[in-house]
């Protein structure tokens, strides 16, 4: 006897202490693994991480112990009705592929953020549209026009109610965000349209002190290669060189993601783009306008020559 199991001569079993005994494989947890939704715990959906997580539950006492001789991998394999772990790993990958595709399909379409249409989105991320031109102003009877907090409260609502709860789809309908081979994107702004937020030098009164205000400077713009982004600047050639700080102040913020479609920063890259471009820098700081000759936000390949 070993571990309460009886040695069976000639059996090529898979006991914990070797292969000199065996027992009929049985599920320890017939209702499935003892957790709810793995995503609730911030783990990736794959065979290795599911079983690693299971091995950590209850201080590592759920598997390969006196009450359950299965390892977590063996338990999950049996749960799937399969005979070997390689098949189980392949099956889990299929399940996860389907789950992630559905998760993304059920997510928030990027055009729903501004709710002004795909063409408007494209123009905005190139540095155009009234959103990049307007400044707050006071008209008759002290009425404020073009106040970011008032006109774009929907951005704060999306940030607080949706962005942390669901996937925001990547805006691949724009040429700016198609085929990002470097797995990275960048936004660069050169003007500030909002006062009293401790970012940039826009100040009140707007009509005098926010006409051509600058963002907080964190980047030196050196060179713009026009052919990198013809879908934004609409030219096939040319370049611009900014020497000796001739470009004035500019502010850039980038993001990267994994090549693995199941990795968290890949799944939520649309959420990151929303936060960086529309919520944090536009709504909260009032940063606008593009470096001339480059898109305001795009895959890094289209903007990297700027920096």
Query: How far does Cα 56 stand from its chain's mean position?
Result: 27
CA 274 distance to own-chain centroid: 9
The least confident of 10-19, 165-174, 250-259, 288-297 is 10-19
Domain termination site, one of 106, 136, 165:
106
Give this prediction's pTM. Answer: 0.79
Q: Please state the rounded mean pLDDT for residues 67-81.
A: 84
Residues 219 and 281 in one domain: yes
Nearest CA to 24 out of 2, 5, 1, 51 is that of: 5
19-42: pLDDT as tens digits? 444 555 677 876 666 554 444 445
State the pLDDT at residue 59: 64
Task: Please tell me the predicted confidence (pLDDT) of residue 42.
Answer: 55
**One domain for residues 161 and 239:** yes
**Boundary-marking domain end, from 75, 106, 137:** 106
Pairwise CA distance, residues 153 & 225, whole Å:
36
Looking at the structure, tell me whether residues 126 and 97 fall in a common domain: no
Q: Using one digit for the tens of pLDDT, what is the confidence trace for 112-147?
A: 999 999 999 999 999 999 999 999 888 877 788 888
Residues 93, 116 within the same domain: no
Q: Does the N-terminal peptide bond of residue 205 adopt cis geometry, omega within 30 degrees of 0?
A: yes
Is the domain of 102 the same as that of 117? Answer: no
Residues 150 and 277 in one domain: yes
Least confident range from 66-75, 86-95, 230-239, 295-304: namely 66-75
Whether 135 and 233 map to the same domain: the answer is: yes
Q: Tell which residue, 86, 99, 260, 264, has the closest CA to residue 76.
A: 86
Domain that holds residue 187: 111-306
Q: Same structural domain for residues 21 and 85?
A: yes
Instruction: Let me know whether 265 and 119 are in one domain.
Output: yes
Span 170-196, mean pLDDT?
96
Indicate if 128 and 268 belong to the same structural domain.
Answer: yes
- Domain co-membership, 144 together with 278: yes
Q: What angle do CA 299, 231, 148 make, to 5 degrees?
A: 70
Residue 43 has a pLDDT of 61
Q: How many domains does the chain have?
A: 2
Could you tell me if residue 58 is left (phi over 0), alpha (psi between -120 and 50 degrees) or otherwise beta? left
Query: Residues of the chain with pLDDT > 90: what percent?
Result: 47
Q: What percentage of the chain carries pLDDT values higher than 70?
A: 84
Q: Look at 73 and 61; give whichever has higher pLDDT.
A: 73
* Domain stop point among 106, 130, 163: 106
Name which residue leads in pLDDT, 194 or 9: 194
Residue 67 has pLDDT above 90, yes or no: no
What's the gap between Cα 185 and its chain centre? 11
Asked if 128 and 195 sit in the same domain, the reply is yes
- Of the two residues 95 and 54, the one the predictor is more confident about is 95
């Amino acid at each position: 006897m070993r571990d309460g199991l009886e040695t069976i001569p000639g059996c090529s079993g898979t006991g914990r202490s070797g292969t000199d005994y065996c027992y009929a494989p049985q599920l320890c947890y017939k209702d499935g693994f003892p957790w709810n939704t793995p995503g609730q715990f911030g783990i990736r959906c794959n065979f290795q991480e599911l079983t690693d997580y299971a091995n950590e539950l209850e201080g590592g006492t759920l598997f390969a112990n006196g009450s359950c001789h299965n390892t977590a991998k063996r338990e999950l394999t049996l749960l799937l009705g399969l005979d070997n772990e390689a098949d189980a790993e392949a099956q889990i990958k299929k399940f996860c592929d389907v789950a992630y595709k559905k998760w993304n399909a059920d997510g928030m379409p990027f055009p729903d953020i501004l709710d002004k249409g795909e063409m408007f989105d494209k123009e905005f991320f190139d540095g155009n549209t009234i959103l990049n031109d307007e400044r707050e102003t006071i008209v008759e009877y002290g009425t404020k026009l073009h106040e970011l907090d008032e006109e774009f409260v929907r951005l704060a609502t999306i940030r607080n109610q949706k962005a942390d709860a669901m996937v925001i789809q990547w805006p691949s309908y724009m040429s700016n965000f198609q085929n990002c081979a470097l797995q990275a994107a960048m936004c660069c702004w050169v003007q500030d349209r909002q006062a009293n937020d401790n970012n940039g030098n826009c100040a009140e009164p707007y009509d005098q002190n926010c006409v051509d205000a600058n963002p907080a400077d964190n980047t030196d713009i050196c060179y713009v290669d026009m052919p990198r982004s013809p879908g934004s600047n609409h030219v096939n050639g040319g370049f611009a060189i900014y020497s000796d700080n001739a470009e004035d102040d500019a502010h850039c913020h980038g993001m990267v993601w994994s090549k693995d479609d199941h990795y968290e920063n890949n799944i939520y890259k649309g959420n990151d783009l929303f936060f960086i471009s529309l919520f944090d820098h536009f709504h909260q700081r009032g940063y606008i306008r593009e470096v001339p000759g480059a898109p305001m936000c795009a895959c890094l390949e289209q903007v990297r020559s700027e920096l």
